[in-house]
A and B are shown apart, each in its own frame.
Chain A
Amino acid sequence: MIPQPLRIDIAIENVLSRVGITVRGAVEYTGGVMVMFFRSMRASVRRPFEWRSVVEQIEIIGLQSMPIVVLTAAFTGMVMALQYAHGMARFGAQMYTGKLVALTLTRELGPVLTSLMVGGRVGAGIAAEIGSMAVTEQIDAVRALGADPVKKLVVPRVLAAMFIMPFLSVCTDVIGLFGGMAVSFLEYDIPMGFFAKSAIEITKFSDFFSGVSKTLFFGIIIAVVGCYQGFRTRGGTEGVGRATTEAVVIISVGILIADYILTKLFLSF
């Protein structure tokens, strides 16, 4: 066979059409997620309120995530203290360690790392649970029995995530600071009182608020994407596995993108 010469125009067309398909898929997906969110908000104000389910979900999403949150927070604070104390020593500025740990934790790493960890755990769980329901016709059954699956399944998870994520983020901030304080003292002899004082001094309410309020949005992303992935699950157990994996990837990427947009937005105020 004679090798075909590379047609540059065809190659470009192929690349562009793939980009087009990907972009279109992403836009459609984002649209679908937003529609599900707005439908859940509308359903959440319709009676009767599903208090019991919301409380159940707060336990699953929030309390059961506590161990992972505590571990993430403590080690993040500890590692940051190590890095900052080590790095700042080069400038003879080791006393700023507390301030840097506090700012980084409250503004950025506390909320984002917590959300990524909880997102992986909870998002996968939601997608797997609702995905299994979808492939065993349980979601059809909810509708057939006269109920709205968005109200029954999505609303409790979204409300619980919106409520609990900021709370978890505050826990991260506090635990992380303690971790940083302990390491600074043990490794670099920075007095704990000094660390705490400088950390509190530097952190303004707006720093704390911008970090914590971001997690409200991350909570929405975690719950809605998890549910959306679950609802679109097709193709038996294999489909459930795929939906779960995709949920974790999309939630993580979604959190990182949303973090940039929200940080930019908060900085402009």
Chain B
Amino acid sequence: MADDVIISYRGVKKAFGGNVIYDGLDLDILRGETITVIGGSGTGKSVMLKMLIGLLRPDAGHVWFDGAEVTALHEDGLIPVRRRIAMLFQGAALFDSLTVAENIEYPLREHMKMNHDERAERVREVLDLVGLPGIEAMKPAELSGGMKKRIGLARAIAVRPEVIMYDEPTTGLDPINTSRINELIVRTREALGVTSIVVTHDMASAFKVSDRIAMLFNRRISAVGTVSEISRSDDEMVRSFIEGRPAYSPSFPPQKAP
């Protein structure tokens, strides 16, 4: 089983100023699975993702990716990691000054030795995959929120990563775009065989796309299990979160800085 673990968080601690986000977070992610991390706003779900590619550093603890300790790598050493792990940012984070095609080509230029035609071919291919063919010349400002996310995904998968991280992929989208993105997450995994980490507070989305669900609560992963295990869980916090009962609040029970 241990061989199947591709990503490990061990004893990770992180605080921003006096605000403690994690106090000993542990999680193993298996190769090829889709795991969803759920938790309320401000519980630091995105921080987990950013730590995995070294955009943020933990104050203590370790993060491992495929046998290499990410937390011990310098900025240059992180480049191969970032080549293998792609991230879809919450607001898509497309570069406003570049066209759709240039956005998607960006990681290709950085990471791969491809000529102009190969890049154009790859752009076409990923745009087809996200269902938006022929919009190479458009600028991000001309796109709707849902389209931006899909282009963000196209940019993320352009380098054929092994892991894709989705930061709140369905937040702020209408129901049709939400289900479109959910389908894309499932389809991308089938097409590319990637490991997917989804961070969300959208339970419908979590149940739809995941193999396993982990719940971030009280500054650590408080519950983790398969979709059916989590949906049958009798843990009070898990139940209140997945059922959306008001009893749940990120600050209950009161959190104190250690």
Residues of A participating in the B interface, judged by any CB pair closer than 8 Å: 132-133, 136-138, 140-148
Contacts and interface: CB of A to CB of B under 8 A. Distances in A.
B55 A147 contact: no
5 contacts: A133-B96, A143-B82, A144-B55, A144-B82, A146-B107
A141 B110 contact: no
A144 B86 contact: yes
Contacts of B79: 146
Nearest to A132: B96
Interface stretch (B87-95, B123-131, B188-196): B87-95
Given A146-B110, A148-B75, A141 B95 contact: yes
B55 A138 contact: no
Contacts of A140: 50, 55, 89, 93
Contacts of A148: 75
Given A140-B50, A140-B55, A146 B111 contact: yes
Given A146-B82, A147-B106, A148-B75, A141 B111 contact: no
A145 B89 contact: no
Nearest to B49: A144
B89 A137 contact: yes
Contacts of B87: 141, 144
In the complex, which of the residues A133, A138, A145 has the most CB atoms of chain B within 10 Å of its own CB atom? A145
Contacts, number: 48
A87 B200 CA distance: 73
Interface in B47-73: 50, 53-55
Query: Which secondary structure dominates where chain A touches chain B?
Result: helix
Interface residues of B, number: 22
A152 B104 CA distance: 16
Most buried by A among B86, B90, B106: B106
Nearest to B167: A137
A141 B89 CA distance: 8
B95 A144 contact: no
Contacts of B53: 143-144
B110 A137 contact: no
A142 B110 CA distance: 10
A137 B107 contact: no
Nearest to B54: A143
A136 B55 contact: no
B65 to A, nearest CB: 14
A138 B93 contact: yes
A137 B91 contact: yes
A152 to B, nearest CB: 9
A143 B107 CA distance: 10
Contacts of A133: 95-96
Nearest to A139: B93
Contacts of B110: 145-147
B14 interface: no
Would you list the 8 A-B pairs with minimal beta carbon distance, nearest first?
A: A141-B93, A146-B110, A137-B93, A145-B107, A137-B89, A144-B87, A147-B110, A146-B82
Q: Which of A138, A141, A142 has the most CB of B within 10 A?
A: A141
Contacts of A132: 96
Contact of A145 (B50, B82, B90, B91): B82
B150 to A, nearest CB: 16
A23 B79 CA distance: 38
A145 B50 CA distance: 12
Nearest to B87: A144
B108 to A, nearest CB: 9
A144 B166 CA distance: 13
B41 to A, nearest CB: 15
A137 B95 contact: no
A145 B155 contact: yes
Contacts of B82: 143-146
A43 to B, nearest CB: 11
Interface in B17-62: 50, 53-55
Contacts of B149: none
A53 B50 CA distance: 28
B90 A137 contact: yes
Nearest to A147: B110
A145 B55 contact: no
A113 to B, nearest CB: 30
B83 interface: yes
Contacts of B93: 136-138, 140-141
A144 B79 CA distance: 8
Contacts of B90: 137
